């Protein structure tokens, strides 16, 4: 062993011992120098004193949630302007369009997740998502951006957060497909940070192999540090970008850049704003936007007491109705300022119980767990909301903007949600509504479902009005596939 390795080993061992994690070096004597270097690099990327604290609070213990003293439903801008709001909405939309047209808005998608529920072999963004062309999720986003660039005669740079696990595959996917028509110089990818995964019973960091820790991405909250650390914020500032339109990779109908939302956010001089989806029923699994001691925050659905979740107003509408679907706009200088504050910033950690394949020290073999054996630690981007002085919530519409792909298809399973099948049905339904608004006759089954498969490319339309002036059929034949 070289002197340098030896010195690093001694320092790493001391740090791991203090954190109660010295087993990470269990196979040290059997490793080649190259493996030792890799393991030491991985160890050096982890904040072990913080790990030691988090193992106690979040792995061996479950952090208790204390209901804050004061929780009120968050106010929000309705999807469509109410009485007296029409002018404000129109002005906001114009402002949003102006910002896009002046090249001051960037698209940003978080694509560093592991997509374990979907079980797709590759980055989730490479999943074929649309009903006819089977366009990958990344391509849906790219087409949306290209159409926006055409409409507003501007460049909309695209930033993608990957993870060390899928970064190379994501880059390769874009290169193989010619960046889906985007200019390579306007696409920037950067990996987020990772955290070790821990044995749920012992709190010990799991190994993936004798020389590798089992690591997992640190949650989409990691984007707020990764944007800065990667140089993406500096790149945005150099390009004159002011606003970041934040979306998740797994929703093929998300408005990647929405002038109405960006305009309302900018007009109210907000640092970070959010879209909300009205919850369909009290216990729908969406975090809820609330005012906690006067500050906007998202309370996880599991933490909202049943009696509060079920409260209704005088009109029978859920009081705590504003569900969080992870669509935000953030000011570039807000993200910069978070990262340059004295002492930095920290988002709270959350525990996720997951199945993690790991290398067993005793049997020296891989273990493929059948039920959750591990704890992953993640931060959430919405936990930056309480750090804002000004923020708004804007309502969106489920059919128009929410058809996520989270789970694998489960044919024959009634009530399957958020899977490719339901997403494709959702895409067809939205396309049908857009066509009907232009007077096209769309066939429906007796129970009201669309009796056709319809895909509208974002290059044709990213909103219903874009179909005006497009050559459309008068009617769609039942049972056919229609691509526009």
The residue ranges that bind ligand UTP (CB under 6 A) are 110-117, 124, 161, 192, 217-220, 222, 248-250, 378, 406
Smallest gap from Cβ 195 to ligand UTP, in A, equals 9
193/391 with CB nearer ligand UTP:
193
124/279 with CB nearer ligand UTP:
124
* Beta strands 187-191 and 481-483, pairing class: unpaired
Burial tier of 160 (Cβ tally within 10 Å: 0-12, 13-18, 19+): buried
Smallest gap from Cβ 393 to ligand UTP, in A, equals 19
Smallest gap from Cβ 249 to ligand UTP, in A, equals 4
DSSP 8-state assignment for residue 56? I
Smallest gap from Cβ 180 to ligand UTP, in A, equals 17
Smallest gap from Cβ 198 to ligand UTP, in A, equals 16
- Sorted by sequence, the CB contacts under 8 Å of residue 10 that are 6+ apart come out as none
Query: How big is the CA angle at 412 (ends 407 and 417), to the nearest 5 degrees?
Result: 30
Smallest gap from Cβ 407 to ligand UTP, in A, equals 8
- Sorted by sequence, the CB contacts under 8 Å of residue 447 that are 6+ apart come out as none
Smallest gap from Cβ 133 to ligand UTP, in A, equals 21
CA-CA distance, 226 to 209, in Å (whole number)? 27
H-state helical runs in 295-388: 306-310, 332-340
16/216 with CB nearer ligand UTP:
216
170/260 with CB nearer ligand UTP:
170
User: Are 197 and 92 in contact, with CB atoms under 8 Å apart?
Assistant: no
318/325 with CB nearer ligand UTP:
325
Residue nearest to ligand UTP (CB): 113
112/252 with CB nearer ligand UTP:
112
* Beta strands 158-162 and 105-110, pairing class: parallel
Residues forming beta bridges with residue 394, ordered by sequence position? 77, 275
40/224 with CB nearer ligand UTP:
224
Q: Does an H or E element contain 453, and which?
A: strand 453-455
């Amino acid at each position: 062993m070289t002197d340098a390795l030896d010195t690093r080993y001694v320092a790493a061992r001391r740090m791991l011992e203090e954190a109660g994690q010295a087993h990470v070096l269990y196979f040290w004597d059997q490793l080649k120098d190259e493996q030792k270097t890799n393991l030491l690099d991985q160890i050096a990327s982890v904040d072990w004193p913080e790990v030691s604290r988090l193992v106690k609070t979040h792995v061996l213990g479950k952090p208790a949630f204390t209901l804050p003293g004061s929780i009120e439903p968050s106010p929000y801008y309705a999807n469509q302007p109410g009485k007296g709001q029409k002018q404000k909405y129109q002005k906001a939309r114009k402002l949003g369009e102006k910002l896009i047209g002046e090249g001051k808005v960037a698209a940003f998608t978080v694509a560093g997740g592991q997509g374990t529920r979907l079980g797709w072999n590759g980055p989730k963004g490479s999943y074929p998502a649309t009903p006819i062309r089977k366009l990958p999720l990344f391509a849906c986003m790219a087409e949306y951006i290209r159409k926006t660039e055409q409409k507003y005669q501007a460049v909309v740079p695209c930033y993608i957060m990957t993870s060390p696990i899928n970064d190379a595959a994501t880059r390769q996917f874009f290169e193989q497909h010619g960046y889906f028509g985007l200019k390579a110089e306007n696409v920037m990818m950067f990996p987020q940070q990772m955290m070790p995964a821990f044995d749920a019973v012992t709190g010990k960091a799991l190994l993936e192999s004798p020389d590798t820790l089992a690591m997992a991405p640190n949650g989409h909250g990691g984007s707020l540090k990764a944007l800065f650390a990667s140089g993406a914020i500096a790149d945005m500032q150099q390009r004159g970008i002011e606003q970041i339109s934040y979306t998740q990779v797994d929703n093929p109908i998300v408005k990647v850049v929405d002038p109405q939302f960006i305009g309302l956010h900018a007009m109210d001089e907000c640092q970070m704003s959010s879209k909300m989806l009205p919850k369909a029923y009290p216990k729908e699994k969406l975090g809820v936007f609330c005012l906690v001691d006067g500050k906007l925050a998202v309370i996880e659905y599991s933490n909202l007491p049943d009696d509060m979740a079920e409260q209704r107003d005088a009109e029978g509408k859920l009081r705590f109705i504003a569900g969080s679907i992870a669509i935000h706009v953030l000011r570039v200088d807000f993200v910069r300022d978070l990262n340059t504050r004295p002492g930095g910033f920290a988002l709270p950690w959350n525990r996720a119980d997951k199945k993690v394949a790991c290398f067993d020290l005793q049997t020296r073999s891989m273990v493929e767990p059948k039920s959750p054996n591990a704890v992953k630690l993640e931060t959430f981007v919405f936990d930056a909301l309480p750090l804002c002085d000004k923020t708004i919530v804007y309502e969106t519409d489920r059919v128009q903007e929410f058809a996520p792909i989270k789970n694998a298809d489960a044919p024959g399973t009634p009530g399957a949600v958020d899977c490719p099948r339901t997403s494709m049905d959702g895409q067809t339904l939205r396309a049908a509504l857009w066509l009907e608004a232009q007077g096209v006759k769309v066939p429906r089954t007796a129970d009201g479902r669309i009796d056709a498969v319809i895909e509208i490319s974002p290059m044709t339309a990213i909103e219903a009005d874009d179909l005006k002036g497009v050559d459309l059929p008068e009617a769609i034949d039942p049972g056919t596939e229609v691509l526009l």
